[in-house]
Homo-oligomer: A and B are copies of this chain.
Amino acid sequence: MAQKPWLQGLGILFFGVFLYPKMTAAQQPTLNLMPIPASVQAGSGSLRVDSSFSVALSGHGEARLDRAVERFLRQLAHQTALPLLLKPGKNPKATLVIQTEHASKEIQEVGEDESYVLEVSATGAKLSAPTPLGTMHGLQTFLQLVEVSPDGFAAPSVTVQDRPRFPWRGLMIDSARHFIPLDVIRRNIDGMEAVKMNVFHWHLSENQGFRVESRKFPKLHELGSGGLFYTQDEIRDLIAYARDCGIRVVPEFDMPGHSTAWFVGHPELASGKGPYEIERKWGVFDPAMDPTNEKVYKLLDDLIGEMAKIFPDHFFHIGGDEVNGKEWDANPKIQAFMKTHGIKNNGELQAYFSGRVQKLVVKHGKVVVGWDEVLVPGVPKDIVIQSWRGQAALAHAAKQGYRGILSNGYYLDLGWPAARHYAIDPMSGDAANLTPEEKQRILGGESCMWAEYVNAENVDSRIWPRNAAIAERLWSPEEVRDPASMYARLDFIGARLDWLGLTHKTYYGKMLHRIAGTSSLVEFAALRTLADLVEPVKDYTREQTAPAEPTSASPMNRLVDAVPLESDAGRHFGELVNQYLAASCRDADAEARLRAQLTLWRDNDARLQPLARRSFLVKEVAANSQDLSALGVAGLAALDAIAKDQPASDTWKAQQLAVIEQVKKPKSQLLLIPAPAVQKLIEAAAAGGTCFTAKP
């Protein structure tokens, strides 16, 4: 990852140009780039993009570049509805002239040069990059620059000099707990390309499924997948498509735990007695491979050999997480083996297993990636640790000479706000204190989409657009960290991703219609109002609060499955309350808007009631609906109290806060997001005064 000379200086020189201040509605961002480039220098004027738009390729040529330009042109045509010639040419007077210096590696490597320079002026645009990887990133930046303008579509004059901060910027999708069809994977690859991620980590085996066709061991997928697996041809196609987008594909076969599905067809690999069935529940289960059985290594040798041929990437992920050891403890043969070989505990037994598997992976020409647990004394220095534990674990590994990628903090399924993911930096905490050489070992990070509660219908909405915030964290300079700017651009990128066929926006109406059934406009609007203000419970509380034990056969048709993981409406309400309370004296406009919303909420439950009587899926959230009305009543009371210009009574305050406490309790696995903001209003009312003393 050689740094281009011009970047060394320019990174500082141009930095101040693009950091957006906190934006207000009147002060729209002029550039909606995400991730924000290393440097952006604004010019004057803009380049008109009309149906005469053309692209020329020069310098290094390869079919992948032609396809990249065709994809870019199709996308541009889609985004503008302009009839464009969809082929690149060679004319040096083309609107966009691309110069690529040389080929990238035949098998894409970690740390290849992904930099590019994009210069847009009123008369034309020029994109230069050392390799096709940079060219492809530059094309995505250009797409983001094109906007509707007063005179047609246009890209502003600008010079972008860009390169990634980290060489490993990944998204993991778990296709094992719920099978995710190939077309869904493919459109997510498109999404990754749009935000310049470059590693698709494919979690392919689990207790709940073995998802790859094995011709050597067909019982693995035939008995271990319920018929839901990818054929080898499909995988090859997907990998070729990802390569076309500058994205590596790292397969993960999780072992020795998380492997029940393997044992349905191959019980002889397990440490327990079997027989085994595909697991339908969620959690950490007992079945684990038998590290003392040579047959296990024989099969893994052949299987890894087979898979190594299908997956060309240099890295091979062997999982290694969450082995509870119960089958090992219960198996006398394993206990005897441990005694004979002086293996003192299950940790050491797993280390023994990992060491053996690691050698098999090396034998087939690959480098091991594994979760934190694979880092045990004596493991070769070239392995890569994927950390679900955090920066401290990564820093610890880096000090010992191991490379690592961060996933702690980037678990998309936990339902955190995008800003919380965004604030997490692989180089923070203990990692901040590493030497420069040690820091080089922190390769980047991966967001993870674990699939207990996602399927083809809602998975896009769990990944996008929030994944773009993580992509920006891994690409953009460390100093880029303003959440307000991030959220403004996230809205924009969310709309752009819609053009790629991702369903993170369109799924919502469909799922709400299923929940509502036949409904009047008023009823449906009431459901939508409620749905827009709730979020699924966070972290791992969904299992704990489930009305019945969830399984892979549980229908995902409830409101908790339908609502986005982050409520935009809830966030906006909170911002409005902050704005209202931050004003040194009363902000009449903000107050009017708050009253309008709170009134709508107060009256919403009555509008939703008929639907709750007709649909069990609405009935389930009747308590949430009542809570929303209670929140409306409490908020209006607070505004009335504030208007009285004197502190509200302690009794009143206590009553109101009791309502808030009740509302804050999750119901039907949903949280009502505006509760803390209404609480602020109540506290302001209790503090009293026309001009606020309580600040947000």
Q: Is the CB of B521 within 8 A of A572?
A: yes
Q: A25-B522, A28-B518 are in contact. Are A555 and B457 (CB under 8 A)?
A: no
Closest to A513 in B: B495
Q: Is the CB of A147 within 8 A of B518?
A: yes
Q: Is the CB of A150 within 8 A of B510?
A: no
A549 at the interface (CB under 8 A from B): no
* A325 to B: closest C-beta gap in Å: 33
Query: Which residues of chain B are near A548, meaning CB under 8 Å?
Result: none
Q: Is the CB of B555 within 8 A of A150?
A: no
Query: Which residues of chain B are near A617, meaning CB under 8 Å?
Result: 148
Query: Which residues of chain B are near A83, meaning CB under 8 Å?
Result: 553, 555
Closest to A83 in B: B553
Q: Is the CB of A51 within 8 A of B553?
A: yes
A70-105 interface code vs B (CB 8 A; 1 in, 0 out): 000000000111110000000000000000000000
Q: Is the CB of B614 within 8 A of A516?
A: no
A427 at the interface (CB under 8 A from B): no
**CB within 8 Å of B: which A464-519 residues:** 492, 495, 498-499, 505-506, 509-510, 513-518
Query: Which residues of chain B are near A32, meaning CB under 8 Å?
Result: 518
Q: A510-B499, A520-B28 are in contact. Are A616 and B151 (CB under 8 A)?
A: yes
Query: Which residues of chain B are near A378, meaning CB under 8 Å?
Result: none
A122 at the interface (CB under 8 A from B): no
Closest to A24 in B: B520
A579 at the interface (CB under 8 A from B): no
* A81 to B: closest C-beta gap in Å: 3
A152 at the interface (CB under 8 A from B): yes
Query: Which residues of chain B are near A505, meaning CB under 8 Å?
Result: 509
Q: How far does the alpha carbon of A311 sit from the alpha carbon of B454 in the complex, in Å? A: 43
Q: How far does the alpha carbon of A328 sit from the alpha carbon of B254 in the complex, in Å? A: 76
Closest to A488 in B: B518
A9-48 interface code vs B (CB 8 A; 1 in, 0 out): 0000000000000000110110010000000000000000
A557-579 interface code vs B (CB 8 A; 1 in, 0 out): 10001000000000010000000
Q: How far does the alpha carbon of A150 sit from the alpha carbon of B517 in the complex, in Å? A: 11
Q: Is the CB of B149 within 8 A of A616?
A: yes
Q: Is the CB of B506 within 8 A of A518?
A: no
A58 at the interface (CB under 8 A from B): no
Q: How far does the alpha carbon of A505 sit from the alpha carbon of B516 in the complex, in Å? A: 17
Q: A147-B518, A495-B513 are in contact. Are A81 and B555 (CB under 8 A)?
A: yes
Q: Is the CB of B80 within 8 A of A557?
A: yes
A613 at the interface (CB under 8 A from B): yes
Q: A509-B505, A614-B149, A614-B150 are in contact. Are A80 and B555 (CB under 8 A)?
A: yes
Query: Among B148, B510, B520, B613, which residue has its beta carbon within 8 angstroms of that of A514?
Result: B148
Query: Which residues of chain B are near A79, meaning CB under 8 Å?
Result: 514
* A146 to B: closest C-beta gap in Å: 10
Q: Is the CB of B492 within 8 A of A518?
A: yes
**CB within 8 Å of B: which A610-654 residues:** 610, 613-617, 619
A556 at the interface (CB under 8 A from B): yes
Q: Is the CB of A25 within 8 A of B520?
A: yes
Q: Is the CB of B81 within 8 A of A557?
A: yes
Query: Among B149, B510, B514, which residue has its beta carbon within 8 angstroms of that of A80?
Result: B514
Q: How far does the alpha carbon of A457 sit from the alpha carbon of B83 in the complex, in Å? A: 13
Scoring A517, A553, A572 by chain B CB atoms within 10 A of each residue's CB, the highest score goes to A517
Query: Among B81, B148, B499, B553, which residue has its beta carbon within 8 angstroms of that of A517?
Result: B148
Q: How far does the alpha carbon of A25 sit from the alpha carbon of B524 in the complex, in Å? A: 12
Query: Among B28, B81, B517, B572, which residue has its beta carbon within 8 angstroms of that of A556?
Result: B81
Query: Which residues of chain B are near A26, meaning CB under 8 Å?
Result: 610
Q: Is the CB of A148 within 8 A of B516?
A: yes
Query: Among B150, B498, B509, B520, which residue has its beta carbon within 8 angstroms of that of A513?
Result: B498
* A513 to B: closest C-beta gap in Å: 5
Q: A51-B555, A81-B556, A509-B505 are in contact. Are A29 and B616 (CB under 8 A)?
A: no
Query: Which residues of chain B are near A514, meaning CB under 8 Å?
Result: 79-81, 148
Q: Is the CB of B81 within 8 A of A457?
A: yes
Q: Is the CB of A148 within 8 A of B615?
A: yes
Closest to A50 in B: B555
Q: How far does the alpha carbon of A83 sit from the alpha carbon of B594 in the complex, in Å? A: 42
Query: Which residues of chain B are near A152, meaning CB under 8 Å?
Result: 616
* A77 to B: closest C-beta gap in Å: 9
Nearest 3 CB-CB pairings of A with B: A81-B557, A148-B517, A148-B615
Query: Besides the contacts A150-B616, A521-B572, what 12 more A-B pairs have beta carbons closer than 8 Å?
Result: A25-B522, A79-B514, A81-B555, A82-B555, A147-B518, A148-B615, A148-B617, A149-B616, A150-B615, A492-B518, A495-B513, A506-B506
14 A-B pairs whose Cβ atoms sit less than 8 Å apart in the complex: A26-B610, A81-B557, A83-B555, A148-B514, A148-B515, A148-B516, A148-B616, A148-B617, A151-B616, A495-B513, A498-B509, A499-B510, A505-B509, A506-B509
